[in-house]
Amino acid sequence: MRTRLTDILEIEHPVMLAGMGGVSYHELVAAVSEAGGFGCMGASTMGLERMVEEMGLVRRRTDKPFGVDLLTALPGDLPAQVAAVIEHGARVFVAGLGVPRDVVELCHDNNVLVASMCGKVRHAVAAVGAGCDLVVAQGTEAGGHTGTVATLALVPQVVDAVGDRVPVVAAGGIVDGRGLAAALTLGADGIWVGTRFIATPEAWGTAGYKERLLAMAEDDTVVSRAYTGKTCRVVRNDYTRHFEEHPEQLQPFPAQLLTSMETGANHLGGGPDLEVDPDREFWPAGQGVGAIHELVPAGELVRAFVAEAEAVLDRVASLR
Ligand SMILES: Cc1cc2nc3c(=O)[nH]c(=O)nc-3n(C[C@H](O)[C@H](O)[C@H](O)COP(=O)(O)O)c2cc1C
């Protein structure tokens, strides 16, 4: 399956692992890239030292290209972080929560591509205007920070707005090859997948996270500001319910993020040995979760996405 995305990233399959903070660590990133997809590290939960260490571990497991995602809006020295992303061998820098105007030139001078997460058409137009090389159109179905427009509505509108200039990658609610086929049909050049890759043996995460996802239905997530102060789709629990009932207690980003950490409800970045309270914990997840029933190795998932999409597209073609 060859698209503008596979060409620009020099990969085999148009399947990108979302740069999920707390989840997309070296094992998962390397497994996806090694399988011919594009692994993207979620470095927003890492300090600079940990990020560099994780990048080295990816490199030890694969010589295929990979990317690093950082939340542009988080306080911190973004240019210094991006300099480390460049120095330690990423092919793409992905900016979550905001157009990374200040670092586009730095990346391009060093042959690193820049991607931007977009929940609205105007975000995509701004990102391309600032020089970004690809955009991810992420619908509200997505796990993590998310907007209000659904994937099915957003993707073709972003394709119409910027698709003649850069590849568009579809995200939000995509959990199998049907989603890949649908994304291509909408005019996207590939997919950016989060929640489905949490349910893999290679994903990082606190104890109980993966098991919880396997037991969930499609309506068990909620968009809440309880954990960061920004709208974020997460597993619904007592903590999110508390802030639904007491919205006056919510603080703006990033103060609410500090509160959730200080009150022991946010251990994103913790590993499988860390026991947490499932009724309070910050477990981002998307609406596609109801279709995930088992842990599957990440490389297998990449191949299954493509094989299923090809079968679906053949079936659809045979209808004509
Ligand atoms: C656990 C988790 C953490 C996430 N962290 C980030 C992040 O740090 N930066 C970012 O750009 N997006 C983040 N996202 C959003 C993903 O990049 C992606 O857009 C989303 O997961 C796609 O929707 P899906 O979960 O339905 O596949 C996160 C999502 C999840 C589920």
Instruction: Domain of residue 220: give its range.
Output: 209-289
Q: H/E/C letters for each residue in 18-53?
A: CCCCCCCCHHHHHHHHHCCCEEEEECCCCCHHHHHH
- Out of 16, 20, 221, mutate this one to test ligand 1's pocket (max ligand atoms within 8 Å of CB): namely 20
315 Cα to the center of ligand 1, angstroms: 31
Confidence of residue 30 (pLDDT cuts 50, 70, 90): very high
Q: Write out pLDDT tens, residues 104-123.
A: 999 999 999 999 999 999 99
Q: What is the Å distance from ligand 1's center to 320 Cα?
A: 36
Q: Are residues 149 and 175 in the same domain?
A: yes
Condensed to tens digits (0 to 9), the pLDDT of residues 156-207 reads 999 999 999 999 999 999 999 999 999 999 999 999 999 999 999 999 999 9
* pLDDT at residue number 73: 73
Same domain for 298 and 263: no
Q: What is the pLDDT of residue 187?
A: 98
pLDDT at 99: 84
Residue located nearest, by CA, to atom 13 of ligand 1: 20
Same domain, 47 and 142: yes
Predicted local confidence at residue 107, as pLDDT:
96
Residue 268 in contact with ligand 1 by CB distance below 6 A? no
Q: How confident is the model at residue 100 (pLDDT cuts 50, 70, 90)?
A: confident
Q: Are residues 241 and 275 in the same domain?
A: yes
pLDDT at 71: 87
Question: Quick one: 154 and 300 in the same domain?
Answer: yes
Q: Is the pTM of this model over 0.85?
A: yes
Q: How many CA atoms lie within 13 A of 6 on its CB side?
A: 13
> Domain check: are 184 and 232 in the same one?
no
The DSSP code sequence of 58-109 is: HHHH--S-EEEEEETTSSS-HHHHHHHHHHTT-SEEEEESS--GGGHHHHHH
205 Cβ closer than 6 Å to some ligand 1 atom: no
What pLDDT score was predicted for residue 300? 98
pLDDT at 75: 74
**Do residue 35 and residue 150 come from a single domain?**
yes
Please give the distance, rounded to the nearest whole angstrom, from the Cα atom of residue 110 to the centre of ligand 1: 26
Q: Is the CB of 269 under 6 A from ligand 1?
A: no
Residue 43 CA to ligand 1 centre (angstroms): 12
234 plus 184 within the same structural domain: no
State if residue 144 touches ligand 1 by the CB under 6 angstroms criterion.
yes
> Does the beta carbon of 138 sit less than 6 angstroms from any atom of ligand 1?
yes
Pair 223, 179 in one domain? no
> Other C-beta atoms within 10 Å of 290: how many?
15
Give yes or no for residue 141 CB within 6 A of ligand 1: yes
- CATH number for the domain harbouring residue 42: 3.20.20.70
User: Nearest residue CA, atom 15 of ligand 1?
Assistant: 144
Query: Residues 204-230: pLDDT tens digits?
Result: 999 999 999 999 999 999 999 999 999
What is the predicted pLDDT for the residue at 83?
Answer: 95
| Residue 272 pLDDT greater than 80, yes or no | yes
Together in a domain, 130 and 60: yes
Does 231 share its domain with 154? no
Q: Do residue 163 and residue 278 come from a single domain?
A: no
Q: What is the pLDDT of residue 101?
A: 85
Q: Structural domain tally of the chain?
A: 2
pLDDT band at 245 (very low <50, low <70, confident <90, very high): very high
* Distance between Cα 208 and ligand 1 center (Å): 19
Atom 27 of ligand 1: nearest residue by CA position:
194
pLDDT of residue 125 exceeding 80, the answer is yes
Of the chain, the percentage scoring pLDDT greater than 70 comes to: 100
